[in-house]
C-alpha cells in the first residue's frame, strides 16, 4: 500500500506550480542574548537572490522561499558567518528560527563560516559535542523520531538493546546521562522509563513536533553541566509561530499526534505551542484480546512565551507522560519459564514543568532564572501462579520521586576576548520508596527498600570563554556539587583548548571531572535495619579528550577523537563483582555497596560526514573502545557495556519530484560488538529452580560476549507540498534484518535446565502526517 501511494504521488501532474513558504526568526548574540539589528540573511543559491536584513529588534522575515532543501546564510560585521544547511522548507508550516551568532575572533578581512551541523549551540563547548535537528530524527534510519535512537548513529554511542532507547556513551552505563529541557534538569523523559534499562525507555516522550535544534555531548562537557558522568542531552523546545496559527496531525502504527501553535491573539508577540500524543495500540485495545499485553502510553507537552517591552521574557513549559501495561499468565500448557506464570500490572508517569524569566542587563549581560517542578513514579505488582494455578504475591514496588528546583544563570561579556557564565541550582528532592520481592518460590515478599523522606542537592558553576589569540580559544570553569543526604561534596574543574590551524583544520584538547547521583533506591537499600549505602561518595569520572577536525570540502567533514576516562569512588559490592556501573535496572537492587571501586574507559571515535548536497548524504562512524573496572577484590573486569567496537554506515538520497515534492530514502547498517555475558551459578540455579548469577568455577563476570549484532534499518518517505498544506507518508523500520539479540536467562520448566532467550525484534512505523 505504501509503495502504491508513493507511485501515485510520483506520477502526479508535473505541471504543478512552484510553491513557496515564509521563513522568519530572530538573530541575537549567543552570549549576551542581545538582539542583532542589520544582520544579513540570504538563501544561498537562490535566483534571483532571496535575502533580507534583521530589524532593530533582530527579527527578520524571508518570503517566497521555494519549498525543498535550502541553505541559509547569516552574516554580520564582527561575527562569524553562520550557515544552516539541510534546512527543509515545506508548504504546511512556516519556519521559525532563533539564531545565536558568535563574536568573531578573526582578522577583519577573514571570513569564518560556522556550520550548524558541526557546531554546537553552546559556544563554550570545546569538543565531543554535536548539534542535531528534529528533522534528522525523522530522516535518519533507526531514528524513529527519537533523539536517543538518533544519537546511536553518532560516534561513541551504542544502544544496549534494540528494544530500548537507552544509550551507552563511550562504554558507560546509560544511567550516567543527563537530560535537560530548556536548561532545566528533568527525569528520564522516555515512555516506560528505567523499566528494563536504567536511563532508557521504549521511546522518547518529547514529540518531535515540540523540539527545536538541540545539543548532544559525549564527554568533557562544559562546567554548567553537573550531575552527569557519561553524556548530556540539552534539549530545546520550539517557540510557537508569532505570525499565524498552524496545526499538524500524524497517525501511525506507534502513535497518534496532534499539534497546534501560534500567537495568543493576532498582532501579539505572546505565543503557544502544544502537542498531545496517544499510543495507537491503546486506542484499538477494545478490539484486542484481554491477554494481548497492550502497551498504553500518552504524553502532553506545551510551551508558552510572553515577551514584554522592558521586563524581559517569561516562559512557561511542561511535559507529562502516563504509561501502563498489564500482562496475564500464559496457558499452563505453554509454561516454559517463571515469566509465563506471572500476572503483572505496571503503571509509570513522568512530569516536568518550569517557569522561567530572561532579561538583558546593562553592560552586555544576561540573566535567566527558572523555577521548576518535576518527578516520576512507578507502581508495579506481580502475582505468580503455582502449579495448581493458585496465585500468590511475587513482588511489588512503588517508587516516586519529585524535585523542586530554583536556578539562576548570569552571563556577561567583559570585553571582546572574555565572556563568563555563572550559575547556581538548588534542588529539593523528595522520595517514597517501597520495594519487596519474593526470594524463593512461595515465600512472602521480602522488603528490599522502604523509605520516605527528602534531601537537598546544590550545584554551583562558573565558566569562561577566553580568546587567547586569533587562533586559540580557552574554555575553563569549575562545577561544585553538595548532597545534604550524606554531606558529600565534589569540586570538578573543567578546561578545554581549541586551536584553529586554519579555516579547514583545528585541534582540541579537553579535561574535566564529572559525577552523578546514584538512583535514590540505591542509597536506601536496607540491611539489618540500617541503610549502609546512604554514605556512598560521588563516583567521579575524569575525562581526557583530544580532537582533530578537518573540513575536507564545504560539505565533507572529518572528526577524530581519542579519549581516556578514569573512574574513582565506583560503588561496588565489598565481596563480589556487583557494581552500579553494570546495573540494568535499579528497581530491585538490594546490594550493600562501598565506594572502593575503580574503572577506566579508553577508546577512539571517528566520524566522516557528508552533508546533504546534490541530493545525497552519508555518515560513517567508528568507535573502538575498552571499558574496565575493578571491584573491592582488585580483579579487573569488563563492564557490562564493553562492546569493544561499534560501526555505523548511514546513507540517504532525496529526489525532487513534480517540482514541489520530495521522495527520500535512507538506510543504516549498525554493527555492534556483542553484549557481555554475566556468569550463572549453575549448581545454585538448578537447586533453586531460578537463575542465580555468580562467579563460580573460575568464571569471571563479563569476560565473554554474545555474538556481534549487525542491524539494518531504513526509512522511506514522500512529502507532498500543496499551496495550503503539506503531507508526508513515511515508513520507518528498525532492525529490518531481524537480528536476534540476547534477552534473558531463565530456568526452563520443561527441561529443568538453564536456557537463554534471544529476541529478533523488528520495529516498524508506517505513518501519515499533515501540516497546515
For the purposes of burial, counting CB atoms within 10 Å of the CB of 706, is it exposed (0-12), middle (13-18) or buried (19 or more)? middle
- CA torsion 196-594-168-302 (nearest 10°) is 70
Residue 9 — pLDDT band, cuts 50, 70, 90?
Answer: very low
472 inside domain:
yes
Lowest mean pLDDT among 386-395, 443-452, 458-467, 707-716: 443-452
Residue 115 and residue 242 share a domain: no
151 inside domain:
no
pLDDT tens-digit profile of 452-507?
A: 888 999 999 999 999 999 999 999 999 999 999 999 999 999 999 999 999 899 99
In this structure, the strands spanning 168-169 and 95-101 are unpaired
Residue 11 — pLDDT band, cuts 50, 70, 90?
Answer: very low
pLDDT of res. 17? 63
317 inside domain:
yes
Residue 12 — pLDDT band, cuts 50, 70, 90?
Answer: very low
pLDDT of res. 1? 40
Give residue 279's Cα distance to chain centre: 21
- Sheet architecture: strand order including 129-132: 129-132, 214-217, 231-235, 177-181, 184-185
Region of 384 on the Ramachandran plot (φ > 0 left; ψ -120 to 50 alpha; else beta): beta
The pairs formed by 393-397 with CB atoms below 8 angstroms and a separation of 24 or more are 393/438, 393/444, 393/445, 394/342, 394/437, 394/438, 394/445, 395/436, 395/437, 395/438, 395/445, 395/588, 396/434, 396/435, 396/436, 396/445, 397/434, 397/435, 397/436, 397/587, 397/588
358-375 average pLDDT score: 97
User: CATH code at 446?
Assistant: 2.40.170.20
Residue 114 and residue 239 share a domain: no
Residue 145 — pLDDT band, cuts 50, 70, 90?
Answer: very high
pLDDT of res. 294? 77
- Of 61, 96, 119, the position where a domain reaches its end is 119
732 inside domain:
yes
Q: What's the number of domains the chain is made of? A: 2
212 inside domain:
no
Residue 308 has pLDDT above 60, yes or no: yes
457 inside domain:
yes
- Of 98, 119, 140, the position where a domain reaches its end is 119
pLDDT tens-digit profile of 314-325?
A: 999 999 999 999
pLDDT of res. 405? 98
Residue 602 and residue 471 share a domain: yes
51 inside domain:
yes
pLDDT of res. 284? 76
pLDDT tens-digit profile of 552-604?
A: 999 999 999 999 999 999 999 999 999 999 988 766 778 999 999 999 999 99
345 inside domain:
yes
Average pLDDT, the chain: 92
User: CATH code at 99?
Assistant: 2.60.40.1120
pLDDT tens-digit profile of 672-709?
A: 999 999 999 999 999 999 999 999 988 999 999 999 99
331-337 average pLDDT score: 94
Which residue range(s) make up the domain with 85? 20-119
- Of 66, 99, 119, the position where a domain reaches its end is 119
Q: Using an 8 Å Cβ cutoff, are 207 and 277 in contact?
A: yes
Instruction: Name the percent of the chain lying above pLDDT 70.
Output: 95
Amino acid at each position: 500500500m505504501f509503495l502504491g501511494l508513493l507511485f501515485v504521488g510520483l506520477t502526479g501532474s508535473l505541471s504543478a506550480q512552484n510553491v513557496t513558504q515564509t521563513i522568519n526568526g530572530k538573530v541575537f548574540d549567543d552570549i549576551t542574548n542581545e538582539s542583532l539589528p542589520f544582520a544579513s540573511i540570504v538563501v544561498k543559491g537562490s535566483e534571483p537572490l532571496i535575502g533580507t536584513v534583521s530589524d532593530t529588534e533582530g527579527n527578520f522575515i524571508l518570503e517566497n522561499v521555494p519549498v525543498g532543501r535550502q541553505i541559509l546564510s547569516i552574516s554580520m560585521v564582527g561575527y562569524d558567518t553562520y550557515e544552516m544547511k539541510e534546512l527543509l522548507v515545506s508548504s504546511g508550516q512556516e519556519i521559525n528560527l532563533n539564531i545565536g551568532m558568535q563574536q568573531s575572533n578573526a582578522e577583519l578581512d577573514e571570513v569564518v563560516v560556522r556550520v550548524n551541523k558541526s557546531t554546537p549551540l553552546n559556544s563554550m563547548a570545546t569538543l565531543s559535542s554535536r548539534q542535531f535537528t528534529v528533522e534528522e530524527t525523522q530522516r535518519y534510519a533507526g531514528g524513529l523520531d527519537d533523539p536517543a535512537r538518533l544519537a546511536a548513529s553518532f560516534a561513541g554511542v551504542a544502544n544496549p538493546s534494540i528494544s530500548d532507547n537507552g544509550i551507552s556513551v563511550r562504554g558507560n552505563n546509560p544511567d550516567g546521562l543527563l537530560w535537560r529541557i530548556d536548561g532545566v534538569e528533568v527525569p528520564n523523559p522516555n515512555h516506560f522509563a528505567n523499566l528494563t534499562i536504567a536511563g532508557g525507555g521504549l521511546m522518547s516522550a518529547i514529540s518531535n513536533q515540540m523540539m527545536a535544534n538541540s545539543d548532544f555531548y559525549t564527554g568533557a562537557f562544559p562546567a554548567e553541566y553537573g550531575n552527569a558522568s557519561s553524556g548530556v542531552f540539552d534539549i530545546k523546545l520550539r517557540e510557537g509561530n508569532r505570525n499565524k496559527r498552524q496545526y499538524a496531525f500524524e497517525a501511525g502504527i506507534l502513535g497518534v499526534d496532534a499539534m497546534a501553535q501560534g500567537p495568543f491573539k493576532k498582532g501579539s508577540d505572546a505565543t503557544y505551542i502544544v502537542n498531545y500524543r496517544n499510543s495507537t495500540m491503546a486506542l484499538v485495545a477494545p478490539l484486542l484480546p484481554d491477554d494481548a499485553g497492550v502497551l498504553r502510553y500518552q504524553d502532553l507537552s506545551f510551551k508558552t512565551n510572553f515577551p514584554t517591552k522592558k521586563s524581559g521574557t517569561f516562559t512557561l513549559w511542561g511535559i507529562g507522560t502516563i504509561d501502563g501495561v498489564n500482562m496475564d499468565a500464559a496457558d499452563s500448557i505453554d509454561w516454559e519459564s517463571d515469566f509465563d506464570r506471572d500476572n503483572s500490572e505496571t503503571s509509570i508517569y513522568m512530569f516536568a514543568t518550569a517557569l522561567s524569566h530572561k532579561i538583558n542587563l546593562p553592560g552586555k549581560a544576561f540573566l535567566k532564572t527558572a523555577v521548576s517542578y518535576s518527578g516520576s513514579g512507578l507502581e508495579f505488582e506481580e502475582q505468580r501462579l503455582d502449579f495448581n494455578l493458585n496465585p500468590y504475591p511475587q513482588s511489588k514496588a512503588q517508587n516516586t520521586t519529585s524535585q523542586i528546583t530554583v536556578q539562576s544563570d548570569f552571563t556577561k561579556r567583559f570585553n571582546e576576548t572574555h565572556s563568563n557564565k555563572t550559575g547556581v541550582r538548588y534542588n529539593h528532592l523528595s522520595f517514597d520508596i517501597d520495594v519487596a520481592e519474593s526470594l524463593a518460590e512461595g515465600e512472602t515478599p521480602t522488603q528490599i527498600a522502604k523509605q520516605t523522606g527528602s534531601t537537598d542537592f546544590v550545584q554551583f558553576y562558573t565558566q569562561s570563554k577566553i580568546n587567547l589569540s586569533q587562533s586559540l580559544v580557552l574554555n575553563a570553569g569549575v562545577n561544585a556539587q553538595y548532597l545534604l543526604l550524606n554531606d558529600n561534596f565534589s569540586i570538578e574543574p573543567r578546561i578545554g583548548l581549541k586551536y584553529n590551524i586554519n579555516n579547514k583544520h583545528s585541534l582540541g584538547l579537553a579535561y574535566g571531572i564529572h559525577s552523578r547521583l546514584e538512583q535514590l533506591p540505591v542509597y536506601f537499600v536496607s540491611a539489618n535495619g540500617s541503610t549502609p549505602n546512604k554514605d556512598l561518595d560521588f563516583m567521579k569520572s575524569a575525562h581526557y579528550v583530544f580532537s582533530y577536525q578537518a573540513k575536507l570540502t564545504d560539505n565533507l567533514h572529518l572528526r577524530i577523537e581519542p579519549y581516556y576516562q578514569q573512574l574513582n569512588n565506583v560503588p561496588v559490592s565489598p565481596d563480589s563483582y556487583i557494581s552500579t556501573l553494570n546495573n540494568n535496572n535499579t528497581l530491585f537492587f538490594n546490594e550493600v555497596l562501598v565506594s572502593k571501586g575503580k574503572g577506566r574507559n579508553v577508546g577512539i571515535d571517528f566520524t566522516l560526514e557528508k552533508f546533504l548536497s546534490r541530493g545525497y548524504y552519508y555518515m560513517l562512524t567508528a568507535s573502538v573502545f575498552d571499558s574496565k573496572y575493578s571491584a573491592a577484590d582488585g580483579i579487573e573486569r569488563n563492564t557490562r557495556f564493553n562492546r569493544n567496537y561499534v560501526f555505523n554506515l548511514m546513507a540517504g538520497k532525496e529526489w525532487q519530484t513534480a517540482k514541489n515534492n520530495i521522495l527520500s530514502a535512507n538506510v543504516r547498517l549498525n554493527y555492534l560488538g556483542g553484549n557481555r555475558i554475566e556468569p550463572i551459578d549453575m549448581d545454585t540455579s538448578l537447586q533453586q529452580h531460578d537463575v542465580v548469577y555468580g562467579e563460580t568455577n573460575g568464571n569471571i563476570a563479563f569476560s565473554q560476549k554474545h555474538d556481534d549484532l549487525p542491524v539494518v534499518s531504513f526509512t522511506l518517505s514522500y512529502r507532498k507540498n500543496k499551496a495550503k498544506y503539506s503531507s508526508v507518508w513515511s515508513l520507518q523500520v528498525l532492525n529490518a534484518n531481524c537480528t536476534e539479540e540476547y534477552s534473558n536467562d531463565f530456568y526452563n520448566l520443561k527441561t529443568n535446565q538453564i536456557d537463554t532467550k534471544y529476541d529478533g525484534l523488528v520495529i516498524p512505523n508506517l505513518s501519515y502526517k499533515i501540516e497546515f
